[in-house]
Amino acid sequence: MTSLIRQPPLLFPATARHTATVIFIHGLGDTGHGWASAVENWRRRQRLDEVKFILPHAPQIPITCNWGMMMPGWYDIHTIDGNAESLRKNEDEAGILISQAYIHGLIQREIDAGIPAERIVVGGFSQGGAMSIFAGLTSKVKLAGIVALSSYLVLSLKFAELVPKPQVNQDTPIFMAHGDSDPVVNTQLGKKSYELLKEMGYKPTMKIYPDLDHSACLEELDDVEAFLRQRLPALGKEEKPEL
């Protein structure tokens, strides 16, 4: 694969003391800007003031199911009919592993800047949610949580052998959400991924939203905010040592 050209992520600094970070990953054909309004809405409510948001942009790659057209993508997709067997067939393992390494690098950068791994959440929508589950659970550091909206488990047939030992994120909470009318990532595929994760001993929860297609709704975004507040509670002002 030729070297990928990456744009720097879109950043929303914490509005108070920076004690936590959320990395939120967009879906196929989108950019980090597509989730800026959701982040701005959370910031307006002033309930996540200590959280820095990082919205990375996927590189332009050819997407087979779109006749090889170049578009922002975290990995190639051969079919987009939402069927589990179709998606598992010809999975772009090389592309998935490249994006995994990139996301792990974003996590490490936050740790190097002084944010503990257990104050970092990785989340995303569709392809971005799939990468959040994969990169989050294969991380060598224990994260605060994982958010996966309208997504599924990639490389599920060999997932267990790709997870580093010890499995530091075995108990990391995973919030999964899906519309019941999703024609792109079939709702049953989302449910099957949830069941697979449970069978492997992980800690996912799943919420299904009625009449929601392959998109997000306000109720879902409120639920994501509640999950983030639970996993990344405010720590308050830093205590200064007495002289």
Residue 89 burial (CB count, 10 A): 10
Q: Are 212 and 220 in contact (CB under 8 A)?
A: yes
Residue 226 burial (CB count, 10 A): 12
**Residue written as token pair 């999950």:** 227
**Residue written as token pair 């697979």:** 196
- State yes or no: pLDDT of 238 exceeds 80: no
**Cα(42)–Cα(55) distance, rounded to whole angstroms?**
14
**Helix-helix angle 36-44:218-231, to 10 degrees:** 60
Query: Given this model, what pLDDT does residue 237 score?
Result: 75
Terminal CA-CA length for the chain? 58
pTM: 0.94
Q: Are 31 and 59 in contact (CB under 8 A)?
A: no
Helices (H), 89-147: 93-112, 127-137
Give me the active site residues, please.
126, 182, 214
pLDDT tens-place string over residues 22-76: 999 999 999 999 999 999 999 999 999 999 999 999 999 999 988 899 999 999 9
pLDDT tens-place string over residues 81-105: 655 565 666 799 999 999 999 999 9
